[in-house]
Structure 1
Amino acid sequence: MGEFESSALGRVTVYSIQGCPHCVQAKATLGRLEIPVCDVDVGKHPELRARVKELTGRSTVPQIFFNNVHVGGNDDLQKLAPEELRRLVSLVKEQPLPADAPPLPEENRSEDTAGEADGAAELSLLLREMILKLFSEHLSADGKSVDYKGMSLNPAFERYCELAIQLQRLELLSLSREEKLAFFINIYNALVIHGYLRMGPPTNMWQRYRFFNYVSYLIGGEVFTLQDIENGVLRGNRKGVAQLRRPFSKTDPRLRVALPDAEPLIHFALNCGAKGCPPIKTYTPQDIDSQLRTAAEAFLENDDGCVVDSGKREVRLSQIFKWYKADFGGTDEKLLKWVLEHMSDSPKKTSLKDILSAGKTKVCFLPYDWSSNSSH
């Protein structure tokens, strides 16, 4: 979606990322308004993330502006009263773009993802962008389902598979911590979609267990399953959910690739394909910690991730915090402290501060939506 010929004087600006169902739904709604819409992919233009957060106070996408008027995200757009929406459309049609309109990227990065990539970071980015582009092309207009069968028949998927073969020749031991984080997060998220295309989405506990312990890539001469990547590499070789042993033994050569300690922020970047997972994004080694912190803030802003009930002095968190509680300190007290420290400034954070300062706070966990987003 880009700007198109129109008699309108202003524009709508949408900050989004590829593969985001909420972004797709918002852009479908905006596309019916017959006004110019400029879609800015902050995944490809990370330099704009901080500016968007500064303007909106939010880390989530999409963020939507009518000229310089910030509407909010997709939910805010869908809830607009008809008369308010008409007023905003008239604003764009009749008033020139003001000087303080939200910024656009200086230049667009090339969409060409053909050919080979040099180095782990570049290859993981290329694979992730290719699979995300495919994902976006086969996402329904309402952003709620994905045509995985259509994806598997797309010629671009075969090009993706050919490129994935290059993973086996990578040298992983020289990667820095930041490079490992970006590489393995991107590869994990791409591998989940690849696994869905080859095996279909898992529909029960046994299928999920098999999926995450079977679906794998050959990387640098070693096999890495989804379980190996998450718990072996990114969590510093910790036991996963319902696992009896660590993924890598002391003599396993893959242990040399593992991070020295668990990185809790990865839980807001990994997407296992279930509707309850965080949104999918692409990560780069440069400023990876800031990117992951932004992902955590966005997750906690959403009521699927965290609900603060001041009346009951209760905090309801995603099951992710229960499953991986050890990564967040191991106790309710340390968990709540971690959550508070990783929230962006917001009324929700203020409410959490207030109930924590008042004394004992109850922690419980929200139901997790394991259903897939497959349209078949």
Structure 2
Amino acid sequence: MNTRISSNSKKPPHNGTKPDKLGRKLALLQDVENLKKKLRHEENVHRALQRAFHRPLGALPRLPPYLPQYTLELVAEVAVLEEEVVRLEEKVVNFRQEAAHISSSTTPCHEHDSASKHKHSRASSQSEFDSGSSLSRIASSRKFMSLESSSKPPQNDRALAFDTERNSTSKSLPVKKHCSTEGGGDVESEANRTSQDVLNCLISIFVRMSSSRRKTMDLSSLACSKESTFRDPYFNSNELKKRDVGAYKHLYEIEARQVDQKYRANAAFLIRRLRILLDKLASLKLDGLSHHQKLAFWINIYNSCVMNGFLQEGIPESPETTVVQMQKATIRVGGFVLNALTIEHLILRLPYHLNYTCTKSTRNDEKDICRTLGLEWSEPLVTFALSSGSWSCPALRVYTASQIESELEAAKKAYLQAAVGISAASNKLVVPKLLEWYLLDFAKEMDALLDWICLQLPDELRNEAVQCLGSKDKGPVSELVEVKPYNFSFRYLVHR
């Protein structure tokens, strides 16, 4: 097996040549990770600018707020100037039509010349006044438009040379101000707010249905100093060497034995509110959502779909029942009736630009879902955001369009810190089955996946993982790694 990565450990390996070699590999892998992030950023900017180049005249595009401020200001100014040019050229056409009409009249030549000069003088004065007004509007609106991120991207000189023939015959289209932007600055659309309300309502219902007024269980209260009382979110206390599970020790736990249908009356008001919210969800208009708005929206809808299925069908009594109910759960969104598997694999995991690569056996309705509702590009980190109510699932939380990138990054790191550890019995690195299932989203093979995992871990756990992997160089993966089986028993870990 290839040499494993390392970090600055307080306990260096006995071989004096190892620390430098492993340290260099860690640094190189970190550089690769940073370059990948930079590449994703550049690809996102390219897509945003590409969409802007193909917009209809007069419609202002949405640009990502993570572009440099001077770029946003420049493209906002260009967009306003473009609209002003079209308006002024339209006036020129009108003046030419009036001049042609006057020249065809019976007015004497000297009177005609005088009238023409008078009209020309008035037109010039008016044009200068309009131009001055437009420049003041540009200066005052520059900041506003950059905040709106509704502007035309910078173009080269050739692109800025407008097609006079086209513009002279076109009407100045009304400016459409979008309420959203691409990237981390997205505002919460009505669809996003509704998805958040639905999921928050469902979480509150399950909390109120918990028995003995034990609404939730704070794992941090169980993380005591004694080994016998330490509670691990994904393992028995004696399976792994004790470690800090990070944010997961502060989560609330909802298990099958806690939820009782007898306590449904405690949530009667919330259940009525849920019906209203689901009706609103069914009639939503999903047009015009940005990539980040779609991403946050559909993550919340997937988690709501599964959770609502458990509410309707009852808490499953066995792992097999959990899987069946999860697959049967459906939800109506914007006129579509969708199940959880469709949302996950046709909307969230299959990007929009791949909808034409579906096999011939793919049904037309599935292709329509990809084309109409799917993301513009894939986002592997949804793996750490989707919760199907199983014991091994990542924690459940409500996602927002404005913070979706940082929220997904935090979800990834928190899950890996809680679900990865060192086996107490075999001294192997234990990784969750979830990562093996979606290995190709993060690496090309298991060796590379292990390197990627180590880069995501906090320093102390990373050092332990590196030492564990480096202690058996060039051995088969089975001697280094233990994959934790997936547990389908019902449970929710909830951020509150």
The TM tier, using the shorter chain, reads 0.5 to 0.7
Mapped contact 2:320–2:488 kept (Cα < 8 A): no
Classify 1:369/1:123 alpha carbon distance in 2 versus 1 (closer, same or farther; 3 Å): same
- Displacement, 1:248? 6.7
Q: Structure 2 regions of 5+ residues with no counterpart? A: 1-187, 218-252, 353-358
Whole-Å separation in 1 of the counterparts to 2:443 and 2:312: 37
Which residues in structure 2 correspond to 1:1-376 (within 5 Å)? 119-139=190-210, 141=214, 142=217, 143=253, 145=255, 146-150=258-262, 152-153=264-265, 154-155=267-268, 156-203=270-317, 207-236=321-350, 252-256=367-371, 257-302=373-418, 305-308=419-422, 314-343=428-457, 345-356=458-469, 359-360=473-474, 362-373=480-491
Q: Tell me how far apart the structure 2 counterparts of residues 179 and 284 of structure 1 sit (CA, whole Å).
A: 8
User: Would the alpha carbon gap of residues 268 and 150 (structure 1) be closer, same or farther in structure 2, given more than 3 Å must change?
Assistant: farther
C-alpha change, 1:151 and 1:173, in structure 2 (3 Å) is: farther
The percent identity for this pair of structures is: 26
Q: Call closer, same or farther: CA 1:274–1:158 in 2, change over 3 Å.
A: same
Tell me if structure 2 keeps the 8 A contact 1:235–1:264. Answer: yes
The 3-state SS of whatever aligns with 1:218 is strand
1:262, 1:327 within 8 Å by CA — same for their partners in 2? no
Q: How far off is 1:333 after superposition?
A: 2.0
2: CA distance, partners of 1:332 / 1:245: 31
Instruction: Give the direction of change, closer, same or farther, for the CA distance of 1:218–1:144 in structure 2 (3 Å limit).
Output: closer
Q: Which moved more, 1:352-361 or 1:168-177?
A: 352-361
Query: Which stretch shows the higher mean deviation, 148-157 or 167-176?
Result: 148-157
Q: Which amino acid aligns with 1:273?
A: G
TM-fit CA distance, 1:201 = 3.5
User: How much has 1:123 moved relative to structure 2?
Assistant: 0.4
The answer as to whether partners of 1:293 and 1:342 remain within 8 angstroms in 2 is: no
Per chain length, whose mean CA-contact separation is higher, i.e. which structure has more relative contact order (CA < 8 Å, sep 6+)? 2
Cα displacement (A) at 1:195: 0.6
Displacement of 1:323 after TM fit? 2.1
Kindly provide the CA deviation profile for residues 106-142 of structure 1, in whole angstroms up to 9, marking residues without a partner as x: xxxxxxxxxxx97110101111111122222334524
CA separation in 1, counterparts of 2:441 and 2:328? 24
1:272, 1:341 → 2: CA distance? 27
Task: Tell me the CA shift for residue 346 of structure 1.
Answer: 2.8
The 1-side partners of 2:254 and 2:360 are apart by 36
Q: Distance in 1 between matches of 2:263 and 2:272?
A: 10
Distance 2:441 2:301 in 1: 21
In the alignment, is the contact (CA less than 8 A) between 1:231 and 1:237 conserved in 2? no
The Cα offsets for residues 42-91 of structure 1, whole Å up to 9 and x where unpaired, read as: xxxxxxxxxxxxxxxxxxxxxxxxxxxxxxxxxxxxxxxxxxxxxxxxxx
Q: CA deviation at 1:294?
A: 0.7
Q: Measure the CA separation in 1 of the matches of 2:260 and 2:292.
A: 31
Partner-residue secondary structure (3-state), 1:252: helix
Number of the residue aligned with 1:17: none
Which whole-Å CA distance do the structure 2 matches of 1:338 and 1:230 have between them?
24
Cα distance in 1 for partners of 2:283, 2:369 equals 15
**Hey, what's the Cα distance between the residues in 1 that align with 2:379 and 2:205?**
29
Residue 309 of structure 1 and its aligned partner are, at CA, apart by 5.1
Conserved 8 A contact 2:192-2:400: yes
Q: TM-score, normalised by structure 2?
A: 0.45
Describe the SS at the equivalent of 1:132: helix
Q: Deviations over 1:248-273 (max 9, x none)?
A: 75863211222244422112211111
| Secondary structure at 1:130 match in 2 | helix
**Aligned counterparts of 1:131 and 1:228: Cα–Cα separation in 2:** 21
User: Please, which runs of 5 or more residues in structure 1 have no aligned partner?
Assistant: 1-116, 239-243
**Count of matched residue positions in the alignment of Structure 1 and Structure 2:** 251
Answer whether contact 1:217 1:223 (CA < 8 A) is retained.
yes
Whole-angstrom distance in 2 between the partners of 1:217 and 1:125? 15
Q: Which residue in the other structure is 1:6 paired with?
A: none
* Amino acid paired to 1:147: V
**SS of residue matched to 1:185:** helix
CA distance in 2, matches of 1:179, 1:338: 28
How has the CA–CA distance of structure 1 residues 351 and 173 changed in structure 2, closer, same or farther, with 3 Å as cutoff? Answer: farther
Give the Cα separation in 2 of the matches to 1:160 and 1:278: 24
